[in-house]
Structure 1
Amino acid sequence: MGLFQRQEYHEVMERLRETDPGIHWVDEGDRGSGYWAVTRHVHVKEVNRRADVFSSGHSGAQMRDLDPNRTVSGSARHPTLVDMDPPRHTRYRRLVNRGFTPRMIGLLEDYLQNRTDIILDNVVEQGHCDFVRDISAELPLQAVADVMGIPVEDRAKVCDWSNALIGRADPEFIKTREDILRAAAELFGYSHELQTERRSTPADDIITTLLAADVDGEALTEAEFDMLFLLLCVAGIETTRNAITWGMMAFFDFGDQWKKFISDPDRYMDTAVEEIVRWATPVLHFRRQALSDYEIGGVRIAAGDKVVFWHAAANRDPRAFEDPWRFDIERTPNDHVGFGGGGPHYCLGASLARMEIRLMFREIAGRMPDIRLDGEPDYLRSNFIAGVKHLPVAYSPSRPYSTVPLPRLGSAAGVSGTVGYGGHVERATS
């Protein structure tokens, strides 16, 4: 884990990728059964797209095998979408997709623009802030919470649970194994409360949609709903938060690109968003298990072998990207795998993430054009998420817009404030 927290993993990924054939066996010793590390762009995309050969459901999509006996609050573990294969994955994915249609994302834009304005209102007068806590973590939290219909007063709790579950190897978030179990139990307990509330009072949100839906003629069980709820919370908050943070850090490192971007944000926005996602690659890897013998890149993968494909390596592959170590907001083409390499597990929230990145960087360019690093970044201890926990920044103070919050999408009630990363209420209006 230290390799990742020290940000030294790119050097290791580069050695693996540039040593032919770019696919190498990794012996895990007593930590696991070993796996094939797939590092080149073309091969990562191939594994992603061949769900008929490379299974997520047999042993799970992360580095360690799923433990079928692991329980949380007495409930047997149920797989999330990332741990399923078609056709089961297809059926569940179709349900969740209903909350991320172009219509739903379009309805969110005005609300999220309003949220973006408020987020910056809360910090522009200070002249300095923790970019992660005060800016990049806020918008994804508001976006996901609104899609799911989570009340404003509960959003800080959801963010804390997400931090604990994704930062399970980081002592800032987790001290003991009991902390992980407690966070999961509290998240699932909250999921049960939402289910009960929405069954009695339906709303225009994904929770109500999922509860009203059925899979193969049967309603979702409580455990199935819990795992979908967990995935939407964690994936929706953590990945976009880190994409925005890494994007800002890239602009710090490549000042010419920031100068170009702030000169005309709309001109460069579309290609800049894709380059931010490529550069950030928030999800470092996923794992599969071969269902049959298969040859890829001249390497024979035997049935039963584990395969770990590294998005972080693929997105720096010189075979796919000219000058891959340069952050270039005009990069075209940009066939990155930051949202996955295609196939059934392509990121369902990609359109929402792109919108959030676009909204946030447009406002930062206009209101904090001289933003700069004001200390050392603090990285998450994780080999799964490329996370940044804290990023001190400074900028010239300015006056806030005093933005009036819009009502939550689908709600007749007014929004009383925005809840910050870590649980503080940033602004309260009536």
Structure 2
Amino acid sequence: MAYQPQQQRYGNCDSYFVEMEDEGLYALRQEQRERARAMARMQQRALAEELSKMTAEEYQEDILDHMERMEADTMPDVNSIDIQTEIQWFMRPYLLDFLVEAHAAFQLLPETLFLAVNLLDRYCSRRVVYKRHYQLVGCAALLIAAKYGDRKERVPTVRELKSMCCSLYDDEMFTQMEWHVLQTLNWVIGHPTVDSFLQIALNENQYDAEVEHMTWYICEIALFHKEFVSIRPSILARSALALARCVLSRSQARQSDWASSYDSVVVLNLSNHLYQPSQVLSRKYASVHLSCVSTTVEEFLQRQAQIARRNITPPTPVLENQKADSDNFPSTPQKNHYDAVMQHGCLTPPITPDNEFGNGNGKGVVLPRLYPVTPTSAPQQPQQQNAQQFSYQQQPSTQQFSYQQQQFLQPRSATGTGI
């Protein structure tokens, strides 16, 4: 058998790879396998969420009891912060503005910010903090909170925190302060934050993203003020949730639910601090992914101000005939400035003296009597004259009391001032 060249045996071929006709079939089967794997992962995730929900409902009361005990043990002491020698409460908004900006720059979880502020307050309750180290303590608290509960890839580094502080502190100072905060708190970092209780309250009803964002905004406003430092996160979360539903015109929770047991005093105090929020918070919550809740609050406050202006009634005008009637009313006599008059040989007592001890109108002028004096034909004895003079002195104080009392009881609308 003669040798045949390879090219003649298999024909002309430009490459060593031969295209198969069923290559599209293998690609289709691979796509089907990937789709089946994705469906299996979704089913496993849904099953895990359902089991987790069933377990949470079963142990819901035990979880709440444990969280409430934890929040009581990890609350800061406001009285201890008051006795700080250098740091004052007016410095708190400046530090919190810095922490809010850093928290937003690193895209950390909402509960990380609340935990960082709690660590900061707890440390200030136990240690004397100098003014030059106040920002350093805040950075250390944010670093600890991010390491405790946030994603690993989003935890800020010491170099990044140093850059945000304009290289005011060295790298070793961040590490030393982080260790000192942990030692001061006995390595107890866990604290049920406002967001933890908020998620429990939101699970009782249908999820509403705008309500959640509004509640975060109100709770972060509360971080800036001293009066909310001693409020427990469970009460603050439910009170802020009730106020958020009121601002957004949402229906409140049922009275039997745990989320409905809010504090009305805390709700009122929170509403009073909505008028002048931090500019950093306003810019943060004006974004679309946070439902623009800061703009919604501003519009709500403008509507409330317009309603309040419409409800204010103008003062009632006083007509001339009403003024004349009020002048002639017997219970409120007016003072008439006349010259001194002698009737029947004796001075008349004043009607409405200007002070308790005066016998006239304060200017040495004796006002005339508006009723006649009974004349006496026979001269009186000295004792009778003293008695009559005593009766004249007693009469003005009685009329003065009646005039002041009747003037106080007279409605304000008659004088044209309004209420």
User: If the length of structure 2 is used for normalisation, what is the TM-score?
Assistant: 0.25
Give the structure with the larger helix fraction: 2
Bigger relative contact order, structure 1 or 2 (CA pairs below 8 A, ≥6 apart)? 1
Give the structure with the larger strand fraction: 1
- The higher radius of gyration belongs to 2
